[in-house]
Chain A
Amino acid sequence: MISTSRPQIVLGLVAIAALLAMPWLVTSDYYVNIATQIVIAAILAMSLNVLVGFGGMVSLGHASYLGVAAYLTVYLTAHAGFGPLAGALAAIAATTILAMLFGYLALRASGLGFLMITLALGQILWGIAYRWASLTGGDNGLGGAVRPHPLGVDLMNPTAFFYFALIFLAAAMWLISRFIQSGLGQSLQGARDQPRRMRALGYNVWLIQWLSFVFAGFWGAIAGMLYAYYNQFVSPQTLHLTTSAETLLMVIAGGTGTLFGPIVGAALVVILKNVVSAYITRWLMLLGIIFVTIVMFMPEGLVPGTRRLRGIVRKRRGSPTTPALPVTEERPT
């Protein structure tokens, strides 16, 4: 459950202020672009977190929504003559419909079966993108997308695009936290923890999970649309299993079932992959070491882990204002 305790709100406000001021704090457009990538990855990770963290449904196919929405956005706007808004809306709508179908198929199973079905569906899409070369350009990918000019703002400007993406992140944070607190979100967590009891109480667990699945797919599509406009290019790599796995790592590293966890995880992965790799050739190894460290010392993820450690420190000082909650309490299985 999301706790909107005071420190978290303060932390959130500080983070928002830092994000808004970001373009003035850095010296080069390069860092603005990195921040934009973090924002896009964060939206994707947050949407996956709805499934993994709150729904207890571990998916290895979440790149599907990123990739399909990105392919459709590029294809529709650059090759099929759609306008930027119409193309984006059509791409998001089509991807959401795809999520409805995938949810219908994947939710026939739970646990490991669910994981394998999402994995298989994602691989099918990757195969289509790779092989249907006349439509997708095959492994050469699809390019030529032009960033739109909403309300006369030129999104080719990195700072403008950063704010553009930030609007979607803010909307995602607000709507996802509303969703989690809503009756549907609460029953989703109930279905995660006690599916049989929920069923006995008369809840339609399948429907709850399916609606959440579609909701997550919708935000994945938003991330895909932003991804397409940011890169102006899309290739099968976007749909690849590694993209899904990377997104799952972001969620797990940051902290499943928290609002800020996926954002922290996304920042960690994007920075390691793009910035640190310039200084350390074996950055993949570093990534591995960091994840092992996280798993060893903060198995619940960075955000809840830090909160727990802070709680311990505070207790030692003798001011037990906020007692540390062991995370296992949140997850009776």
Chain B
Amino acid sequence: MRRIATLFSTTFLMGWALVTASEAAEPLKVGFMTVRSGALAAGGRQMEEGLQLCIDAHRGEMAGRKIQIITADTAGQPAVTKTKAQELIERDGAQVLIGPLAAFEALAIDDYIRQTKTPIISPSAAAEDLTQRKPNPWFVRAVGTSAQAHHPLGEYAAKELHYKRIAIVADDFAFGHEIAAGFQRTFEQNGGKVIQKLWSPLNAAEYGTYISQIDPNADAVFAAFAGGNGIKFLGEYKNYGMQKPILGAMTTVDEGILKRMGDEALGVISAGWYSAAIDTPANKKFVEAVRKSYGADPGYYTVGAYMACQFLNNALEQVKGDISDKAAFMKALRNVNIPESPYGQVKLDQYGQPILDIAIRKVERKDGKLQNTVIKTYPAVSQFWTYKPEEFLKSPVYSRDWTPVK
């Protein structure tokens, strides 16, 4: 089996060598880690679409160099992710990595990235500590951290929506914990009170038991879900006849799943660094392209991978396509500055984390389709919100048991 694989790859490489021999500059090899099998495959496919769109927009060339994308399926398993990273770097000679999808995958290859000193751009993994308490000098992120969009949402809920008491229902894993804690921190700082936190397992079959536990004294419910869980939760919430308004995390009503929802999603207010309804020329062009190619609105994963690829382009232009000096390339990658993008203007902080405009969004129906209409924008929000980075980093990372310092 291995011999066949070797044979196959050698033939492939020889073929490739023949094709490229005639060209002046060697192609730049970009390893792309996505998920094609298992529970995360839907997000993985959207990532592939986003990346492909960006490569097509650049006609396969960046800063005068051809871009060769080598895709690997991590199956959403940490140990496989490590093997795939080795495959991309050691066997296929990838010089830059884009991926992987899940935070635990990114953490699984953290040490390996440091050893091989391979620049990596994360298109979706949102774990706070990747750019906070365990910053990796070879890592930049093209999306927000878990709490980055939900610090503003907490303030918005208290100050503008005038909610006093909120019940949180969230997925019981690190992403859910971090979102909930970030929201709670700013909500309580502005005079609100989180009166209840319910953690539902990631693979919960139904949410009835959690919905019926929601405290009747709550003014609203903050529902923080990932993957397809938002669909199930909102549907059952309506079926139980619940009237309390819902606040959502970015992924609760992400465009990737919003198309599968109905009236139950109407009126949900959420926060995110992106909405397909952001009314800027750059975003309109992007959304148009996605609709044309894939017949759906871009969401979290699509835009994340698209932007990761734009980061690569921006950094390559800074170094004029010369990636041989890895330190210089990494400096350029940390120095990414994109004035116009679907996100709006994007710059990175010194930890490799973008400073993003955060949109407060409300689900509305327009032309028969649900969309996240932007109702307010918090410009240039840092991963540390308004806190001083040094002080922010001194406190432990947001977790399930996190409580605000009194």
Contacts and interface: CB of A to CB of B under 8 A. Distances in A.
B82 A276 contact: no
A204 interface: no
Nearest to A37: B83
Interface in B44-88: 72-73, 75, 77-80, 82-84, 86-87
B283 to A, nearest CB: 31
Contact of A140 (B1, B75, B103, B401): B103
A14 interface: no
Given A133-B399, A138-B174, A139-B173, A30 B86 contact: yes
A273 B83 CA distance: 10
A interface bracket (residues with beta carbon within 8 Å of B):
35 or more
A34 interface: yes
Contacts of A227: 79
B366 interface: no
B173 A31 contact: no
Contacts of A37: 83
A143 B84 CA distance: 18
How extensive is the interface on chain B, given as a class?
35 or more
B108 A235 contact: yes
A237 B77 contact: yes
Interface string A235-258: 101100000000000000000000
Contact of A274 (B87, B111, B401): B87
B108 A275 contact: no
Interface string A36-55: 01000000000000000000
Given A271-B2, A278-B87, A140 B80 contact: no
Contact of A281 (B73, B83, B103, B127): B73
Contacts of B37: 277, 281-284
Contacts of B107: 140-141, 143, 233, 235
A278 B72 contact: yes
Nearest to A274: B83
A144 to B, nearest CB: 7
Interface string A9-44: 000000000000000001111110110010000000
Contact of A28 (B78, B80, B91, B103): B91
B5 interface: yes
B83 A144 contact: no
Contacts of A27: 6
Given A29-B90, A138-B174, A140-B174, A232 B111 contact: yes
B39 to A, nearest CB: 11
A238 B400 CA distance: 22
Interface string A207-247: 00000000000000000000100011101011000000000
A306 to B, nearest CB: 15
Given A30-B86, A143-B107, A277 B73 contact: yes
11 contacts: A28-B91, A30-B87, A31-B6, A131-B172, A141-B108, A233-B111, A235-B108, A271-B1, A271-B5, A274-B80, A279-B8
Interface of B: 1-2, 5-6, 8, 36-37, 72-73, 75, 77-80, 82-84, 86-87, 90-91, 103-104, 107-108, 110-112, 115, 127, 129, 172-174, 177, 399-401
Given A143-B108, A233-B78, A235-B108, 20 more contacts: A30-B86, A30-B87, A31-B2, A31-B6, A33-B83, A37-B83, A141-B78, A141-B104, A233-B111, A235-B107, A237-B77, A237-B78, A273-B75, A275-B1, A275-B2, A277-B73, A278-B5, A278-B87, A281-B36, A283-B37
Interface of A: 26-31, 33-34, 37, 130-131, 133-134, 138-141, 143-144, 156, 227, 231-233, 235, 237-238, 268, 271-279, 281-284
